[in-house]
A and B are shown apart, each in its own frame.
Chain A
Amino acid sequence: MSTWRLIMHDLRRHPGRSTLTLLSIAIGIASVIAGSLATATTRQAYRRMYEEIAGRAALQVTAPANGTFPQDLTEKITEVRGVQAAVPSYQRATRIVFEHKWLFLIAIGIDPVHDADAREYDLREGRFLAADDTDSGLLEVGFAAGAGIHVGDRVKFLSAKVHKPGHLGTITIVGLLAPRGPAGFNKGGALFLPLKFAQRYLGDQGKTNTIDIVLADGADEKAAAQHVREILPPGLDVHPPDSASQLAKGTMMEVEWGLSFASVFAVVLAFIIIANTFLMKVSERRPQIAILRAVGATRRQIVGIMLREALILGIAGTLLGCAVGLAGGYGLMVAVTRLYVDNPLPVVFSPLPFVMALVFGPAFSLAAAAVPTWATTRVTPLEAMRPVVAREGSGVPRWMPISGLALLAIVGGLLVASVHGCLPSWLSIGLGALAVALVVLVIPVLVRPLAAFTSWLLRPLGFAEIPLAQRQVVRRPVRSALTIGVVYVAMAIGVGLGSIITTTVGDVRSWYRQTLQGDFFLRTAFPDTTTGESALVPDALEEEVRHIPGVTSVDTMRFFNTHIGDRAVVVVSREFPDREPPIALYRADSQDVRRRLLQGEMVIGTKLAQDLCVNPGDEIEVDTAQHGKQKLRVAALAVDYMVGGQIMYIHRAKAETLFSVQGVNTVLATVRPDSLSAVQDALTQIARRDQLMLHSFADLSRMLDRMMGGVIGGLRAILALGFVVAAFGIANTLTMNVLEQTRELALLRVVAMTRRQVRRLVLAQAAIIGHIGLGLGMIDGITTAYAIGASMMPLLGYPIEFHLHPWLLAGCLGFGLTLVLVAALAPARRAARLDLLIALQYE
């Protein structure tokens, strides 16, 4: 079919333009896919990780903190309608000793007979636990290999009970498990024991702290949960097993917002570039289109040709974007998960983003080409007869600014509503992007005054070409507006996202400087985000560190989980020895807060406070194990970047009373400056001895920066790509401008202009376009940064304060202007090299 050949010929004939359109679509698709993969697969990985622990259980009863409850509750739950099986287990942090090595892990007491109803175990070596087993245990194969433990080895473990505290019990390892399912718990650091043995040596006989509930096929989960709730004693609740992974979800939301923001703006940029490219195609191919009309092509057929071309580019761009997005998504996934765990989670790919891309990518290309394609219907066959009809409108269609302003008013109103919480906050990203795109519709009517203003600004440079360049820019306001729009969107993203990143990084640094006050930190592993459990440091460690010469003060931290209502909350208990508590307080007096903490009040995260609709001074009920629900007063609110604001600070003494928690996970030491080296040596020996981790504050800062660095690097990469694509768009448009001005430029050369002046003319056009776009983009970027900061309120529980970063603005402006002028070099050179004789004959 000749029309397909027409399309392919044209694509081959303009490889630069075709590549630009292709790249625009690819980048838009790639950024959406990369962002979607990073968020969707890490969410799925967390969910799957927790599901592997919970197995087939649809519901779970857990005791808060170190609490326990009678095991005979299991039989009662089994009798509830809809329940197929109820499986008890008992979990406690403990330590084992093997060949003089102390190893920290979580002991899990399981019912060897019934546990398989809820979970699947993959035995690699040896045998599973038997019903009559007593002192037998199972380890994960990787953990065992690391410790040098084999099937048949006997290991000692620290038991809390039996004769006297600190007594070491002994068990035989009878089997090794593959690193999946429940053996993946605590990243392999789990010891599976017979339940009765665990209860006897680690806790209370006849007591348990977890019951997993498997429902019968077709059972109503909500109804079953309600029935179970009715038979539970006070202080216990039933909930889905992944409620604790809500903590992980909460912490990921901020990153997801950043990724969504960058992706949406990349899509907006791609849309404008594609629309601009197709507008240029229409302009350049007017004679061709007129001939087709003259020989009998209807308007619909012309539209069909244009749309088919858009479809080909859309499909090719989507496929390329999927490939690039996959690579980018993998990198982002590794970076994002590193934020939350020491080792990357197992990668789980979701096909959904690719399916969506394959559907919407081509549709996106068609949508972007729609308006330029519509413009082809205005080409009449008369243009083929004689070039007497005006080739392209030099005015601005009235519908553009009117519809742009009207829609901008509506979208602006919705955006304000979203920022203030009247509409879902996640809408603000899409609305913000839409607002940016709508501004492009209004730019055409601003081209004339802005070009005049910019020319006036540039006039001191003394180039005579500037007024001429200004006239060229104004002559095609719609084309100029689209090119300005490309620069404007890139600048808006750069300034907006750059400001938010800079402010957030500053906030995070400020947060951990306030919360991690100390020169050295001795710790076990970070708490598991799914359970809040973490092994404890030796009891005597605190005193030992306190007595090291040079240590001026010692603080401790203990992490554990509890529930407030159905919300999982991480509790941090500390001594608060200093006058200013190491908490990133939100609008509170630190000394007053310390006083209240010592009196038994608590400080909660801003997000938690927002979710519970509480303010300082209010009381809320907290789940405790031994004492049921207890009311605690809120002393103040705190900013938190660790667990998405679902955090509670409490004094250690109060925690021990309320939650019966003993021991700590982390010891923090503040040291005299002249003793840093000596104290570090002493602490290093202790860490080696007790198999602990030792960090200096500098180490921790570097670690946190590294964790953030991956994500921030990804976002900056998207920004840089946006600018690069914008540069290609500008080069393309200026080349088109040069082509259109061929005859005029030739006449100028004949009359008086040197080649150098022609080059300067094209560069001046670029400078005018660039200044307008960069200026508008800067204003929009600052507004966007302010709006995003304000819209963080529903996400964080407090708005991010707006800061102007002059160096960022200057950097974006300088980089943008440089890029614009570099993009103009090739078109300028082309214009300067015009063959005068050929150019004078150009129509």
Chain B
Amino acid sequence: MPLLEIRALKRTYGSGELCVQALRGIDLKVERGEFLAIMGASGSGKSTLLHMLGGVDRATSGQVLLEGADMNALSDDQRTILRRQRIGFIFQSFNLLPTLTAEENVTLPLELGGTPTSKARARAEVVLGMVGMLRRRTHLPTMLSGGEQQRVAIARALAIGPALLLADEPTGNLDTANGRQVTNLLRQLVNQQRQTIVMVTHDPNVAAHADRLVCLRDGLIASDNEQTPVPYADEPVAVKFGET
């Protein structure tokens, strides 16, 4: 069974003359341990698709099955809990809470789920170590660089041991060097821990690190191709948009 399956997914905003069809029928499967990149022009529906996968928005019709559970059929609370337990989010703008330290930001989803603070801290140590931010665990986000903040955000997403990691333009606000670091980190997670990642990006160099590239156009899948990912080395590899 695939980890994630999308069936005839549609999302429409507004009504009547102001109706906008962001997704017009998406069918997709994502296997465990797969690194999927989604690309597309502005307005193609890639962010909307990511919102559906993360349960932060509800589809107009269709199904989003995560480990067999249809997220569209769940209540808001059920989707929230599912998100807390099985899905890790990485945002373009990091979205760390500015008044909490790096460690506290990482333990947040665990404590919200009722994990005792001591256990949450222990887990935070592990994941911060994985992303190389253990020494900075007592620092506030304002004391960290963009790349460092994003690494803490990745640690937060990993803290719950997610089945699925969703990354929304994770390198969008980073310079080239930091962006490369983050992309390499994601690749390592897939290679070493069989983490399943779905990433939205507009950067072909970033998308080149994925196992599979899905291109969206006007709310539909224009292409869906497996590719040989760029190894997590230094040189970027350019991948033309839409080429198979």
Contact = CB atoms under 8 A, between A and B. Distances in A.
B91 interface: yes
B10 interface: no
A382 B79 CA distance: 13
A784 to B, nearest CB: 44
B80 A382 contact: no
A381 interface: yes
A296 B156 CA distance: 11
A5 B100 contact: yes
A293 interface: yes
B73 interface: no
Interface stretch (A6-14, A222-230, A606-614): A6-14
A385 interface: yes
Given A382-B56, A382-B57, A385-B51, A295 B107 contact: no
A384 interface: yes
B137 to A, nearest CB: 13
Contacts of B47: 385-386
Nearest to B106: A2
Interface stretch (A177-185, A297-305, A455-463, A789-797): A297-305
A745 B98 CA distance: 25
Contact of B108 (A2, A13, A380, A384): A2
A299 B77 contact: yes
Contacts of B81: 296, 298
A596 to B, nearest CB: 80
A422 interface: no
Interface residues of B, number: 30
Contacts of A382: 51, 56-57
B89 interface: yes
Nearest to A386: B47
Interface residues of A, number: 27
Grouping DSSP codes into helix (H, G, I), strand (E, B) and loop, the A interface class, with mixed when no group exceeds half, is helix
Interface in A189-230: none
A296 B84 contact: yes
Given A1-B117, A382-B57, A384-B91, A297 B100 contact: no
Interface string A348-385: 00000000000000000000000000000000111011
Nearest to B168: A385
A582 B108 CA distance: 79
B203 interface: no
A294 B97 contact: no
A242 B196 CA distance: 84
A291 B156 CA distance: 12
B95 interface: yes
A3 interface: yes
Given A295-B84, A385-B91, A3 B99 contact: no
A675 interface: no
B205 interface: no
Given A296-B84, A296-B112, A297-B112, A384 B107 contact: no
B170 to A, nearest CB: 13
B83 interface: yes
Contacts of A293: 56, 80
Given A1-B117, A2-B107, A294 B56 contact: yes
Contacts of B84: 295-297
Contact of A295 (B76, B112, B117): B112
B147 interface: no
Contacts of B56: 293-294, 380-382, 385
Contacts of A295: 83-84, 89, 108-109, 112, 156
Contacts of B83: 294-296, 381
A630 interface: no
A5 B81 CA distance: 22
Contacts of B148: none
Contacts of A591: none
A386 B89 CA distance: 13
A1 B113 CA distance: 12
Given A1-B117, A385-B91, A296 B80 contact: yes
Interface in A282-311: 287-288, 291-301
Interface in B87-115: 89, 91, 95, 97, 99-100, 104, 107-109, 111-113
Contacts of A380: 56-57
Contacts of A291: 95, 97
Contacts of A287: 95
B100 A9 contact: yes
Given A294-B56, A296-B109, A6 B100 contact: yes
A13 to B, nearest CB: 6
B97 A288 contact: yes
B155 to A, nearest CB: 12
Interface in A374-406: 380-382, 384-386
Nearest to B157: A295
A800 to B, nearest CB: 55
Contacts of A10: 99
Interface in A251-300: 287-288, 291-300
A381 B87 CA distance: 14
Given A2-B100, A9-B100, A381-B83, 18 more contacts: A2-B111, A3-B112, A5-B99, A6-B100, A288-B97, A291-B95, A292-B97, A295-B83, A295-B108, A296-B81, A296-B84, A297-B80, A297-B84, A380-B56, A381-B80, A382-B57, A385-B50, A385-B168
Interface of A: 1-3, 5-6, 9-10, 13, 287-288, 291-301, 380-382, 384-386
